[in-house]
Amino acid sequence: MLRPLLTDFISGRAPDLEAARLRATLAGHDGSGLARILERARRRGAGTLVLSSEDLDRARPEDVERLRAAFRDCDVNVVLTVTRPVHRWCSGWQTLVKHGLASYPAEVTELLADFAALNVGRLEELVRVLGAPETLIRVVRTSPAEPDLAQSLASALGLPDLKALPPSLSNSSLGRDTEVLLRLNRCGRALGLDSTSAGLLAAWGSAPRSYLERPELVSKYELPGSFDSAASQEAAWLRNAPEGVTVLDPTRALDGWGSRDVPEWYADASRREACVPERLEEESEAIQLWRARQQVQVLTRRALPPETRDV
């Protein structure tokens, strides 16, 4: 819905969005999805329209004009949910591995910090880029998870009570299997959670699993050196938010904002590897690049108009 308005998606600057950008090109999507949604709401006489999109956290200063043009006839309020920096680091790495990343966290510090909005001043910049007259920031506790978060957000926005909530809706976490999927990606056996890797994970997960201690992995999972300063700056800004920004922290999650306590699954992955039934041999980088170039050529030809394919 909102991706065609964002430079990260348009330019291909974000590797994790490359597959989605290619799918959109091949499907002939013209980027008018948001416009159609707004027009349909107007025809139905909607007074309040709630749009939810994780992609908006990728907005950059160069996206401001496109975003403002898209919502030019609307009174816009922005709601951000924000979790502890350490949770965003671990969860962000897992998400990128699902997208096909074949690197340990410390090997892609810059990419991961950008993806998880962990750069100093990023949250403040995001609020400024979105530029709504009123912004609500809801600080979210992740452990234990808040069971009534959806209703809490609705109440904070002055919306009616949610009569029928799904029984238990949450993103499916790979947990300790993230490390296994990483190794699948590194050896070129699969790309993220496609049918091949999903099948392998399911088969291996159904059998008893043993682990091999690997102390040398610790350095590959270490939090970046900039973590403390970024977390400290973000906490200070949230506690002293500027005019027009309301911060709600009902669970007092900000008290432990700079904590380095990683989830149990991440700590396990940093010291041991799962023993899997099939041997995973990493392919050389040259072989993987060779295969990737062939795929790019084929997909590029499919994406181009017929009259330009031979140019």
Q: Is residue 83 part of a domain?
A: yes
Report if residue 38 sits inside a domain: no
173 vs 191 pLDDT, higher one: 173
The answer to whether residue 144 sits within a structural domain is: yes
Percentage of the chain beyond pLDDT 90 is 38
pLDDT-wise least confident of 65-74, 102-111, 229-238: 65-74
In a domain, 178, yes or no: yes
Residue 141 lies in a domain: yes
Reported pTM:
0.85
- The pLDDT of 195-200, averaged and rounded, is 80
pLDDT tens by residue, 270-290? 999 988 876 667 777 787 778
Name residues whose C-beta falls within 8 Å of residue 262's C-beta, 6 or more positions apart in sequence: 86, 89, 90, 221, 223, 270
Residue 88, pLDDT score: 96
A 10 A CB-CB count for 200 gives: 19
Q: Total structural domains in the chain? A: 1
pLDDT number for residue 70: 86
Q: Which domain holds residue 178?
A: 75-161+174-306
Mean pLDDT of the chain: 85
Residue 258: predicted pLDDT: 95
Number of CB atoms found within 10 A of residue 295's CB: 10
Name the residue with higher pLDDT: 172 or 90: 90
Q: Is residue 167 in a domain?
A: no
* pLDDT of 52 over the 60 cut: yes
Alpha-carbon distance of 137 to 48, in angstroms, equals 19
Distance, in Å, from the CA atom of 115 to the CA atom of 16, rounded to the nearest integer, reads 9
Give CA separation, 139 vs 32, 65, 231, in Å: 32, 28, 14
Report the C-alpha gap between 194 and 181 in whole angstroms.
11
- 84 inside domain: yes
More confident residue, 279 or 91: 91
pLDDT in tens, 143-166: 888 888 888 888 888 887 777 666
Considering the domain boundaries, does residue 5 fall inside one?
A: no
Residue 238 has pLDDT above 80, yes or no: yes
Taking residues 206-213, what's their average pLDDT? Answer: 85
At residue 138, what are phi and psi to the nearest 5 degrees?
Answer: -105, 115
